Amino acid sequence: MRLGYHQMRLVKATVPKLREQGERITTIMYTRMLRAHPELNNVFNTVNQANHRQPRALTSVILAFASALNHDISDLIPKLERMCNKHCSLGIKPEHYEIVATYLLEAFAVVLGDGPEGMTAETEEAWRRAYWILAGMLIGREQQLYAAFGPWQGWLPFQIVRKESETDDIVSFYLAPQNKRPLPAFLPGQYISVQVPLPNVGYMQSRQFSLSDAPHEDYYRITIKRETGCQSSSNNTFNGTMHYPPGQMTNYLIDQLNPGDVVDVTHPAGEFFLDTRQLSSVPLVLISAGVGVAPMVSILNTMMDLHPTHEISWIHGARRMIPFCNHVREAKRRMPNLRTNIFKTHLADGDLAGTTHDYDFRVDLAKVNREDLHLNHSGAEYYICGPEQFMLEMADYLKMQGVELSRLKFELFSTGDMVEISLTIETAWPRNCSSSFSAAPASSWRTSKSLVQIVDVTAWKAA
Ligand SMILES: Cc1cc2nc3c(=O)[nH]c(=O)nc-3n(C[C@H](O)[C@H](O)[C@H](O)COP(=O)(O)OP(=O)(O)OC[C@H]3O[C@@H](n4cnc5c(N)ncnc54)[C@H](O)[C@@H]3O)c2cc1C
Ligand code: HEM
């Protein structure tokens, strides 16, 4: 698919208006698409539809791509890599792209109108081509990922073989494949998708959960925090209160499912991982809050198996109870270079500083000594997972200490952009440092410096 220079200009000229009307585009597109293809309700997360996170993410990437036509798109690669991993974890196939194309372009046409500045036949053709250039890149990368998955593509039934409370609101599930075949290894930090028919939603629903143990051939472990929901004050509403209902999947899994029950699972995926295939000797700093502990324990346990003397620091923040605290205490006995700094805000009777925790306040990296943060090591890598605001604060502090963005890796337990972090990073880090939220393997993307080449070179169908 080729996009000529004039077509590129037509596409770019529509971007400001489309950007202004982003919310309307997503509403029109998803309402029409799901009405025509109700089976896709089983694919999309109904909550991220309701709160617009997912459709907003899709439109924002397409418009960012259109704006970047003729420019360097390397900034988009981490985002594309994250999307492709998510798509593969959810079994998205090339034929789905046809459906999205139809309803996306239809929504663009509604928003742009049909005047000479609107969606003329020429502009529509230009947009179709631009969409398929992007879709072709995504489909190509997804084909590579599916090929790497091997024979396990799509959903496989797994039995819950063990369920264990880690705190009063965090529970680990041990999942074994019903076909009893040895499970493929994964890179610590990656996630699986779990799918169940949610009775009160009426469709299948899936969510991602980080693997929380080292790879094992006979089970995967995930660790889930119950989303209790809440009423929260907000300036965004007229009456000042927002209602966040309890999480659909986490409450169902924790309350309704037990050993012996079966859930559907996809192959491990994800671009946030410690690359154990080419492990270097640089210190690792794991920084987590709440259930952000899950991928960190996977990294820790994998390193305990592979390289127990590696320099590792784990910094964790919790409210009342520390998940995996006994396990980490045991790990410290087996890993002589493991340092921990535990922050806890709500102390219980019997809590003892130096034993159950180190600090009785929220995570404050300024209180952690420089050796534990490995700030004097110019190559140390930082793996960060927790609520968005938490990750923003951690990134800010590390940036102030001179840590380059390329050494920070974030896992967002949600969909779309960490808006505040991307804004901060855009303005605070020099443009030339490779802005990666993840370990996106740029080599997997047939990137060129500039989309001029994409515009003129027909073969953007990666791999
Ligand atoms: C890569 C990745 C890894 C993850 N790993 C883990 C993990 O290891 N452990 C873990 O516990 N979680 C993990 N998550 C998060 C997980 O996938 C779920 O999103 C989370 O557990 C909540 O699921 P839920 O169905 O219970 O909540 P949902 O029902 O999806 O609700 C989510 C939130 O949205 C609010 N909400 C509901 N409706 C609306 C609305 N209309 N408008 C605004 N807000 C609304 C709810 O109150 C709730 O706070 C991960 C996510 C990703 C993307
Ligand atoms: C050019 C086309 C597409 C673009 C630009 C796009 C973009 C995105 C983005 C940005 C995300 C969020 C990723 C994240 O932050 O985790 C996402 C997730 C997702 N996409 Fe796509 N996508 C495209 C095509 C499709 C198609 C064809 C389907 C299937 C019909 C699809 C289904 C999904 C689903 C189910 C999710 C996860 C939603 C969630 O977790 O709430 N996408 N996509």
With a cut of 60, say whether residue 306 has pLDDT above it.
Answer: yes
With a cut of 60, say whether residue 421 has pLDDT above it.
Answer: no
Measure Cα distances from 272 to 86, 114, 158, 276, 409 in Å: 12, 43, 24, 12, 7
Please check whether residue 198 is in contact with residue 248, taking contact to mean a CB–CB distance below 8 angstroms.
yes
With a cut of 50, say whether residue 434 has pLDDT above it.
Answer: no
With a cut of 80, say whether residue 442 has pLDDT above it.
Answer: no
Give the pLDDT of residue 459.
27
Q: What is the pTM of this model?
A: 0.92
Pocket of ligand 1 (CB under 6 A): 47, 50-51, 191, 207-210, 222-225, 227, 229, 244-245, 247-250, 270, 291, 294, 411, 413-414
- Measured in Å, residue 78 CA sits from the centre of ligand 1 at 22
Domain count, the chain: 3
Is the domain of 144 the same as that of 165?
Answer: no
pLDDT digits (tens, 9 = 90+) for 168-187: 999 999 999 999 999 999 99
Pocket of ligand 2 (CB under 6 A): 40, 43-45, 48, 54, 57-58, 61-62, 82-83, 86-87, 90, 92, 96-97, 99-100, 134-135, 138, 415-416
For ligand 1, atom 40, the nearest C-alpha belongs to 51
Q: What percent of the chain has pLDDT over 90?
A: 77
In-domain check, residue 199: yes
With a cut of 60, say whether residue 144 has pLDDT above it.
Answer: yes
Is the domain of 46 the same as that of 66?
Answer: yes
Is the domain of 187 the same as that of 139?
Answer: no
CATH number (domain holding residue 344): 3.40.50.80
In-domain check, residue 281: yes
- Measured in Å, residue 462 CA sits from the centre of ligand 1 at 32
With a cut of 70, say whether residue 454 has pLDDT above it.
Answer: no
With a cut of 80, say whether residue 56 has pLDDT above it.
Answer: yes
**C-alpha 36 chain-centroid distance:** 28
- Measured in Å, residue 415 CA sits from the centre of ligand 1 at 9
Q: Which residue has the tokens 């988009």?
A: 76
Distance (Å, whole) CA 191 – CA 130: 31
Whether 142 is catalytic = yes
DSSP string, 87-102: HHHTT--HHHHHHHHH
Please check whether residue 176 is in contact with residue 213, taking contact to mean a CB–CB distance below 8 angstroms.
no
In-domain check, residue 183: yes
Is the domain of 26 the same as that of 130?
Answer: yes
Is the domain of 164 the same as that of 121?
Answer: no
Measure Cα distances from 400 to 86, 404, 420 in Å: 32, 10, 17
Is the domain of 292 the same as that of 261?
Answer: no
Q: Write down the catalytic residue from 142, 381, 393, 411.
A: 142
Q: CA dihedral defined by 50, 51, 53, 56, rounded to 10 degrees?
A: 80
In-domain check, residue 292: yes
In-domain check, residue 341: yes
CATH number (domain holding residue 213): 2.40.30.10
Q: Across-strand partners of 223? A: 172
pLDDT digits (tens, 9 = 90+) for 91-127: 999 999 999 999 999 999 999 998 888 999 999 999 9
Is the domain of 191 the same as that of 222?
Answer: yes
For ligand 1, atom 49, the nearest C-alpha belongs to 229
Give the pLDDT of residue 387.
95
Q: What is the mean pLDDT of the chain?
A: 89
Is the domain of 289 the same as that of 402?
Answer: yes
CATH number (domain holding residue 129): 1.10.490.10
Is the domain of 162 the same as that of 133?
Answer: no
With a cut of 50, say whether residue 437 has pLDDT above it.
Answer: no
In-domain check, residue 16: yes
Ligand 2 atom closest to the Cα of residue 138 is: 1
In-domain check, residue 451: no
Domain of 34, in residue numbers: 5-149
Measure Cα distances from 246 to 199, 232, 252 in Å: 15, 13, 10
Q: What is the mean pLDDT of residues 142-171?
A: 97
Confidence of residue 230 (pLDDT cuts 50, 70, 90): confident
Q: Which residue has the tokens 């925790």?
A: 357
Distance (Å, whole) CA 442 – CA 44: 28
Nearest C-alpha neighbor of 59 from the set 422, 413, 416: 416
